[in-house]
C-alpha cells in the first residue's frame, strides 16, 4: 500500500538545515541537533530495505552514485515517502572511506526525488566491515581450487561470505537519533563452530561432515555480519539488531547455505534468550547476550519465508515466536497481493498470505516474505506496512528500484 507522508515535514526541513554533522569512526552525528529533535517526538518509525545498491566491481557503487544512478534515485524516493526515523539498508556496498554512504545521503536523500517527498536528512549513520568478498584462503566450495580476491564466482564462493569484492552486499544504518558507538557490538568474526549444536553441513551420501575439521573450525557464522546498534531515541535506548543472513540456496545437496541461514537466525534467538553464553563473543571479546530489560528491533532481509521457498522454515518461525518478540499484525501491501495473483495464474501458488510478501523474485520463486522488522514486547505498535503499491498507483513508478520492498513499523510509547 502507498505510505502517507509523515507529519510535520516543515519542522523536519527546518531541523535538517541545522544539522552540521561530523564523522566519528563509523558513526556520523551532531549531538546539538539531536537535542532539538528529541522534543515532541512520540512515534518511532523503524524500517528495513534491501536496496540492491551493490556492484560487482570494487568501487563500482561509488562510481554509479557519482555519475547519477536511476535505481538509487528510486530508493531515495521511497525513503523520502516513508521517512523512517531509523532504517537498515541491506545490500549497500561497504567502503572504508564511507564515500558511497556520503554520496547517497548528500546527492540522493537530501535532494527531492521524482515521486518522492521532501529532502530527507539523517544526522547519524553506522557502517562497518562485512564478511562478503573477504578471501578466506580456503577451498570452501570444495571444487579443488582456492579462489582469490578476483571478480569470479569461484573467488566469491571461497570468501567468508559470498561476494566478488570485500564489502559487496554490505549494510548501512541511518538514524535521526544518536548511535552509541562505544556500545555497538558486531559479530563478524564469530566462528560457526562456536555455536553449541551448530548445524554442521553433511554429505548426504556418506553422512560425514561436508567441511574438513580444519576448515570447519575456521568458518565464520555470519555471511555479512550481525550488529547490535544502540540508538538513543526519545523513548530511551533501542537496540537495532541488524543482519542479512545468506540465502538458503546456491549450494548442493549438503545444504551448507540452508544450514548457515538457519544458524544465522538462531544467533538472534540465542542473543535474546537468558542464560550464560560464554561462546557468544563479539568482535571486541565481550561475551553474552542482550540484557533482559533492553528494548530492541530485529531488522533485515532474513532470507527465510515462514512457509514458502527454500530454507529451514522453523528457524524464522522460532524467531517470530520468541517470547521477547512482539506479536502484531504482519505488514502487508496491495502490490504484493496483486503480483502474487498474476503468478498464481501461471501456476506459481504459495501457501503464505500473498499480501504479506516483501519481494518479487521472478517467475521461478514468485513473491515471498523475506524482510522483517520485529520489535520487542512492550512497544505500543501503532502501524506497519510494506511500500509496495499496486501497479495502478502513481507510487509504483518508484517501487521497482529493488526486488525487495521497504518494510516499516511505527512504535509508540512503551508499557514498562
Q: Where are the domains of the chain?
A: 9-132+167-414
Mean pLDDT of 103-122: 97
pLDDT value of position 152: 62
Mean pLDDT of 328-348: 94
Q: What percent of the chain has pLDDT over 90?
A: 83
Model confidence at 149, pLDDT cuts 50, 70, 90, reads low
pLDDT value of position 27: 53
Model confidence at 292, pLDDT cuts 50, 70, 90, reads very high
Q: Which CATH number fits domain 9-132+167-414: 3.40.1380.10, 3.90.1560.10, 3.60.10.10, 2.60.120.200?
A: 3.60.10.10
pLDDT value of position 348: 85
Long-range contacts at 104-112 (CB < 8 A, ≥ 24 apart) = 104/53, 104/65, 104/72, 104/76, 104/172, 105/174, 107/65, 108/65, 108/72, 108/73, 108/75, 108/76, 109/76, 109/79, 109/80, 110/16, 111/76, 112/80
Nearest of 263, 220, 256, 248 to residue 141 by alpha carbon: 256
Q: What is the mean pLDDT of the chain?
A: 90
How far is 245 from 155, CA to CA, in rounded Å? Answer: 19
pLDDT value of position 36: 41
Task: State the Cα torsion 76-381-125-4 to the nearest 10°.
Answer: 20
* pLDDT tens-digit series, residues 33-58: 433 443 346 899 999 999 999 999 99
Model confidence at 154, pLDDT cuts 50, 70, 90, reads low
What pTM did the predictor assign?
0.90
Look at residue 416 and tell me whether its pLDDT is greater than 70: no
pLDDT value of position 4: 46
Amino acid at each position: 500500500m502507498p505510505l502517507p507522508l509523515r507529519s510535520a515535514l516543515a519542522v523536519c526541513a527546518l531541523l535538517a538545515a541545522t544539522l552540521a554533522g561530523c564523522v566519528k569512526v563509523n558513526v556520523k552525528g551532531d549531538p546539538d541537533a539531536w537535542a532539538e529533535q528529541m522534543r515532541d517526538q512520540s512515534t518511532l518509525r523503524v524500517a528495513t530495505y534491501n536496496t540492491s545498491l551493490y556492484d560487482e566491481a570494487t568501487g563500482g557503487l561509488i562510481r554509479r552514485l557519482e555519475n547519477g544512478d536511476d535505481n538509487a534515485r528510486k530508493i531515495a524516493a521511497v525513503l523520502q515517502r516513508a521517512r523512517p526515523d531509523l532504517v537498515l539498508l541491506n545490500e549497500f556496498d561497504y567502503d572504508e572511506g564511507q564515500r558511497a554512504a556520503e554520496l547517497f545521503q548528500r546527492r540522493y536523500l537530501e535532494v527531492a526525488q521524482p515521486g518522492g517527498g521532501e529532502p530527507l536528512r539523517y544526522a547519524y549513520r553506522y557502517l562497518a566491515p562485512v564478511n562478503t568478498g573477504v578471501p578466506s584462503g580456503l577451498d570452501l566450495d570444495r571444487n579443488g581450487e582456492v579462489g582469490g580476491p578476483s571478480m569470479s564466482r569461484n573467488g566469491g564462493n571461497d570468501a567468508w561470505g559470498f561476494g566478488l569484492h570485500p564489502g559487496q552486499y554490505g549494510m548501512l544504518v541511518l538514524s535521526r537519533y544518536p548511535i552509541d558507538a562505544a556500545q555497538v557490538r558486531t559479530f563478524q568474526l564469530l566462528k560457526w563452530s562456536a555455536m553449541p549444536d551448530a548445524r554442521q553441513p553433511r554429505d548426504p551420501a556418506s553422512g560425514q561432515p561436508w567441511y574438513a575439521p580444519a576448515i570447519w573450525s575456521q568458518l565464520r557464522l555470519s555471511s555479512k555480519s550481525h550488529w547490535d546498534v544502540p540508538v538513543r531515541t526519545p523513548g530511551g535506548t533501542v537496540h537495532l539488531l541488524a543482519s542479512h543472513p545468506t540465502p538458503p540456496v546456491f549450494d548442493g545437496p549438503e545444504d551448507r547455505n540452508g544450514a548457515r541461514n538457519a544458524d544465522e537466525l538462531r544467533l538472534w534467538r540465542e542473543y535474546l534468550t537468558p542464560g550464560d553464553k560464554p561462546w557468544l563473543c563479539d568482535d571486541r571479546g565481550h561475551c553474552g547476550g542482550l540484557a533482559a530489560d533492553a528494548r530492541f528491533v530485529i531488522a533485515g532481509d532474513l532470507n527465510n519465508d515462514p512457509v514458502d521457498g527454500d530454507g529451514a522454515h522453523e528457524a524464522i518461525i522460532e524467531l517470530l515466536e520468541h517470547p521477547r518478540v512482539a506479536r502484531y499484525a504482519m505488514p502487508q501491501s496491495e502490490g504484493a497481493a496483486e503480483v502474487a495473483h498474476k503468478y498464481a495464474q501461471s501456476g506459481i501458488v504459495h501457501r503464505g498470505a500473498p499480501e504479506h510478501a516483501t519481494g518479487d523474485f521472478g517467475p521461478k520463486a514468485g513473491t515471498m516474505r523475506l524482510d522483517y522488522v520485529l520489535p520487542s514486547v512492550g512497544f505500543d505498535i501503532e502501524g506497519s506496512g510494506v511500500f509496495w503499491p499496486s501497479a495502478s498507483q502513481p507510487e509504483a513508478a518508484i517501487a521497482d528500484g529493488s526486488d525487495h520492498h521497504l518494510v516499516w513499523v511505527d512504535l509508540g510509547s512503551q508499557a514498562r
